[in-house]
A and B are shown apart, each in its own frame.
Chain A
Amino acid sequence: MDGEPLVRWDWIWRNWSTGRAGSIDSLLQQHVVMALLPVVLGLVVALPIGLACVRWRWLYQPTAGLMNVVYALPSLPVFMLLLPATGLGPATVIIPLSFYGVAVLIPAVVDGIASVPDHVRQSAVAMGFTPLRRLLRVELPIAVPVVLAGLRVVAVSSISLVSVGALIGQGGLGNLFTDAFKRDFPTPAVVGIVLIVALALLVDGLLLAAQRLLTPWQRARGSA
């Protein structure tokens, strides 16, 4: 590696957008989709399950236990396990990441609803909200900060976890790491790391901005 600089700008330049599969921009795009689709799917699945756990308290303990087990599974063997069913496509990565999302977001939904002060819930009941309306207009809006906090965790970890998919050729920017390793050429790895971190920061920042926008009523901001 002597004489080889850490970053070769001309390589980045040449490979940024070649129009072919494997160019940096297409990997970035792939990475974004594979990281964020599981976040969305995770939320869509976790929301009803979480609400069911709130409605039927006894469901929560077993569900939370199961989700902890899911979360503890290492990603690589799960990919391998899925391979026969889903092949070498992005679904092999997206499915387990969605499960991780669900595992984190179910407690977030349950805690979010639990964060609604009892007197607020009682007064909603007393004013004549139907249960569904109360959920949509009072409980869910108040749960937003807690759910969004969970969403930020899921999004960032998902962005980082996608790279593991590179081991089956579906790693988005993670593919740059295998590439660098195979060719003993550090530039792609550096590009991969920088882009992944930047992407994580960007998405986290966007979610934070969304939270500020959605919850101008939060005391913590002390804007009064």
Chain B
Amino acid sequence: MITFDRVTKRYPDGTVAVDDLSLEVPTGGITVFVGPSGCGKTTSLRMINRMIDPSEGRVLLDGVDVTTVDPPTLRRGIGYVIQQAGLFPHRKIVDNVATVPQLLGWDRRKARDRAMELLERVGLDTGLANRYPFQLSGGQQQRVGVARALAADPPVLLMDEPFSAVDPIVRASLQDELLRLQAELHKTIVFVTHDIDEAVKLGDRVAVLQVGGHLAQLDDPATLLARPADGFVQEFLGRDRGIRRLSFVPGEGLRLRDDLTVPVSADVASARGTAEPWLAVVGPDGGPLGWAATSGLPKSGTFEAVPLAPYGTFVRGRDSLRAALDAALLSPSGNAIAVDDSGRAEGVVTREVLDEALVLAAREASRVAGETRAGEGPGEAGGAREAADGR
């Protein structure tokens, strides 16, 4: 566990980067520090591995004040990943990853074996091991950065906007990779970002910081979205926080209809006379192909000959209500196709079912928020402190 105990950092020029910060980072979870530029995220992070020492207060790592530990020793037990990856340009990928084990005095063979193992772990082709960093893409470099931070198996991982410099698709895959790794490794991770979506996706707990280094709120993501502590947090969360909150409502319980799918090999005659305006056409492998409008069906033949409209899917049992809603919005029918893990269509979730689920989710949100104050901003003072103290 990492504890910030009334920590203040004042730079020599008088800037107060962190102001009386008290919070706990629980062992084995991802705690995200999020906030606008200049709010003291990096400063807070670097006080954990002593790249910066606090002006007042203490940072404790498992109960030990970090300023009592020799910095190099402390840092070898704390992985660190930064935005530009910070790879050593003059060392091959494998040697980059083996850096900390070598600093710790492992023998060369063992360090290299470990490095190769980690490259695989973070989803990199081990064929890249003998390249130099400039021969890798930004996303690959970032994976190497993560592998390097994990090489000596440190219990704590500090990540400072590690995925900000890559394009959105690569970023999403790096985030998924991190969550997958974390499910195996259970590190204590402090993750800094200014992207609230990233914070909410990755964090077990999210600390929202305000410029001047105040902690505005510390909560799990669902609570944060449902119940921002003050106007600053609410504004920071953005306009679509209601929609975003749906990411935390499981799509599992949505009622499926199995009478709205037809195999592509079926005769169109079988669909004649149905009252449903749209049917989901399913291919021979069970995967959805598109929506067929029942009003414009040809006189005879199979669904092979029917023009199909675009569709959206969500994975039942894994995706959220948000994904289901998104899938519905991608279909002209307004219905979402539910698929299983292998992509086979399981059935259709209709607008009506989604509608019910949304109403339920909205009620739940108000319940979490503790009061119904539609259209009105949440209360001002008090909330932040209360949230910071963990209530």
Contact = CB atoms under 8 A, between A and B. Distances in A.
A69 to B, nearest CB: 34
Interface in B150-171: 158
B34 to A, nearest CB: 21
Contact of A142 (B51, B90, B135, B148): B90
B134 A217 contact: yes
Contacts of A3: none
Interface string B77-101: 0101011111111110000000110
Contacts of B44: none
B76 interface: yes
Interface string B219-233: 000000000000000
A218 B134 CA distance: 8
Interface in A124-161: 124-130, 133, 138, 141-142, 144
Interface residues of B, number: 31
B368 interface: no
Given A122-B51, A126-B49, A217-B132, A138 B88 contact: yes
Contact of A119 (B73, B82, B100): B82
B103 A127 contact: yes
Contacts, number: 72
A146 B89 CA distance: 15
B80 A119 contact: no
Nearest to A214: B90
B129 to A, nearest CB: 14
B80 A126 contact: yes
A145 B88 CA distance: 15
Contacts of B6: none
B72 interface: yes
Contacts of A126: 49, 51, 75, 78, 80, 82, 86, 158
B132 A125 contact: no
A61 to B, nearest CB: 22
Contact of B76 (A120, A123, A128, A138): A128
A144 B75 CA distance: 27
A71 B63 CA distance: 58
Contacts of B78: 126
A224 B134 contact: yes
A120 B88 CA distance: 6
Interface in B275-333: none
A39 B236 CA distance: 60
Contacts of A117: 84, 89
User: Chain A at the B interface: mostly helix, strand, loop or mixed?
Assistant: helix
B72 A120 contact: no
A219 interface: yes
Nearest to B149: A127
A224 B133 CA distance: 11
A135 to B, nearest CB: 13
Contact of B82 (A123, A129, A133): A123
Interface residues of A, number: 23
Contact of A127 (B84, B100, B131, B132): B100
B135 A224 contact: yes
Given A122-B51, A122-B82, A224-B134, A129 B103 contact: yes
Contacts of A120: 86-89
B134 A128 contact: no
A128 B158 CA distance: 14
A141 B148 CA distance: 20
A215 B88 CA distance: 12
Contact of B89 (A122, A127, A142): A142
Interface in B33-87: 49, 51, 71-76, 78, 80, 82-87
Contacts of A84: none
Contacts of A142: 88-90
B43 to A, nearest CB: 13
Interface in A210-224: 215-219, 224
A128 B103 CA distance: 8
Given A128-B75, A217-B134, A119 B83 contact: yes
Contacts of A125: 51, 75
A64 B83 CA distance: 35
Contact of A129 (B72, B86, B145): B72
Nearest to A140: B90
Contacts of A123: 80, 82, 85-88, 145
A216 B74 CA distance: 33
Given A120-B86, A122-B82, A122-B86, A127 B76 contact: yes
Contacts of A216: 132
Contacts of A215: 90
Contacts of B87: 120, 123
A124 to B, nearest CB: 7
B83 A127 contact: no
A219 B74 CA distance: 34
A59 to B, nearest CB: 21
19 contacts: A117-B89, A119-B82, A119-B84, A120-B86, A120-B88, A122-B82, A122-B86, A123-B82, A123-B86, A123-B88, A125-B51, A126-B78, A127-B76, A127-B99, A127-B100, A128-B74, A130-B72, A142-B89, A144-B90
Among all A-B residue pairs, the 6 with the closest Cβ atoms: A123-B86, A128-B76, A128-B75, A126-B80, A217-B132, A119-B86
